[in-house]
Amino acid sequence: MAETVEFELVSPERLVISEPVEMVIVPGAEGDFGALPRHAPMITAVRPGVIDVYQGGKVSQRIFVAGGFVEVTETRVTMLAEEAMKVGDLVADEVEARVKASKDAIDAADGEAARQLAQRSLAVALAMKDALISKKAH
């Protein structure tokens, strides 16, 4: 049996996953990285993107996260996500509506703070759109 690392992903709504896995590919703020057993300890920000969870030498789950933070130790990967959902649960029409609403919010922003918030929302929506495209490829 392959060595595993405990992976726990928590969103504000719920515990998304908590199980031993072979590897987790994380969309880190500085780029994607793989967390394996005995990984060097680190804490980093997570950018909007897809987490690939590996079991049995292949991707067993793909989960979209809207950002957050991850702590990696030799035995555990703990992620606190702003928003998380299985890639298979993303719906194209809802994602397109989210992109449009974010673009409209940018146009309607009445100050720099509102504009930055709307731009962040657009970045998440576009990452969701990319996840939908990659869903078709898998």
Residue 16's alpha-carbon distances to 58, 78, 110, in angstroms, are 20, 11, 36
Note the helical H segments in 1-138. Answer: 92-108, 112-137
Secondary structure letter of residue 87 according to DSSP: G
pTM exceeds 0.85 for this model: yes
Q: 116: which residues sit within 8 A by CB, 6+ positions away? A: none
pLDDT in tens, 46-95: 999 999 999 999 999 999 999 999 999 999 999 999 999 999 999 999 99
pLDDT in tens, 1-19: 579 999 999 999 999 999 9
Return the domain boundaries, the chain. 5-87, 91-137
Q: State the burial class of residue 26 (Cβ atoms within 10 Å of its Cβ: 0-12, 13-18, 19+).
A: buried
Per the CATH hierarchy, to which homologous superfamily does domain 5-87 belong?
A: F0F1 ATP synthase delta/epsilon subunit, N-terminal (2.60.15.10)
Q: State CA 1 to chain mean position distance.
A: 28
Closest C-alpha among 89, 93, 69, 87 to residue 79: 69
Closest C-alpha among 69, 102, 67 to residue 82: 67
